[in-house]
Amino acid sequence: MRVLVTGGAGFIGSHLCERLLNDGHHVLCVDNFFTGSRDNVAHLLGQPGFRMIEHDVCLPLYADVEWIFNLACPASPIHYQIDPIKTVQTNVMGMLNALENARRFGARILQASTSEVYGDPAVHPQVESYWGNVNPIGPRACYDEGKRVAETLMSDYHRQAKVDIRLARIFNTYGPRMAENDGRVVSNFILQALRGEPLTVYGTGEQTRSFCYVDDLVEGLVRLMSAEGIHEPVNLGNPVEFTMRELAETVAWLCGQEAQVVFRPLPQDDPAQRQPNISRAKSLLGWTPTVQLEEGLRRTIDDFRRRRNMEPLPERRSTTAHRAPVMGPVAD
């Protein structure tokens, strides 16, 4: 296939480009490098079938391709809240431009939507039929509502213009190439643990998330794009739920540190629970995550250590029951 990946130099996008190349596709990687990095795709430059161009998806781009993966948008609060108006524009104008490209060339298009469309959910775990609980005027709305409008555009282009759409609702994803400054809990905990600092936990630490390793997520995206006739949203994420305190404990242990925490107030509209129901992905795609949290975190920590020119730590294997409990709070 000839494949366009917008946001292709981002964390997930770069892994997707790599996978598509390995599968024998021709990949056009598009990114404006606001949060993406050339370093993420440097190893792909010069490979047959790979091309990268710098471009803002808010401006039209016409590429004669058969598949379009639209991953272009800042995905962490610290990034999408820097310029919320631009975030809305990226979600809406970027989606419109991608859909016009798909309509013009008859391409199949996949939108990287998000679990944030569910907001602070009143239904747990979250199923695709749930309409969500989102604050439309809060500080997260530029991303949450932007992604919801993008889903609306996808659905209307399918109904009105017969564009062949795929909607992936992506839950928390982690792995190598995460940006060190993205403010996400996994990267924050790893960096603090590697520095020997207390880990910053917001709220009580009892709020939960479900963490999917990036290779599993990319497998789900490829399966969804390859499947025929699936136009409804599909949750992609790991359904195993962890509290923030449990995550802090695991990261500290893998980094060889004593787990200590500093508590901070919970950010506005931060959801208390986030866990996907992946029954639809299992039944329609035969997809389920395979990488366990400890193994995925170990690979991610090794990548952070490599980028910081640190020697890898000796391998540590255990179960949660064998680890020391989180200590805290400590002096601020």
Residues labelled catalytic: 143
Q: State CA 38 to chain mean position distance.
A: 18
Exposure class string for 142-179: b at 16+ Cβ within 10 A, else e: bbbbbbbebbebbbebbeeeebbbbbbbbbbbbbbbbb
Of the candidates 260, 261, 250, 218, the residue with the CA atom closest to the CA atom of residue 236? 218
Residues 6+ apart with CB under 8 A from 125: 239, 241, 275, 276, 277
The 3-state secondary structure of 62-106 reads CCCCCEEEECCCCCCHHHHCCCHHHHHHHHHHHHHHHHHHHHHHC
Amino acid at 153: L
CA distance 225 to 109: 8
Do residues 135 and 119 touch, judged by C-beta distance below 8 A? yes
CA distance 105 to 86: 27
In 10 A of CB 12, how many CB atoms? 24
Amino acid at 17: C
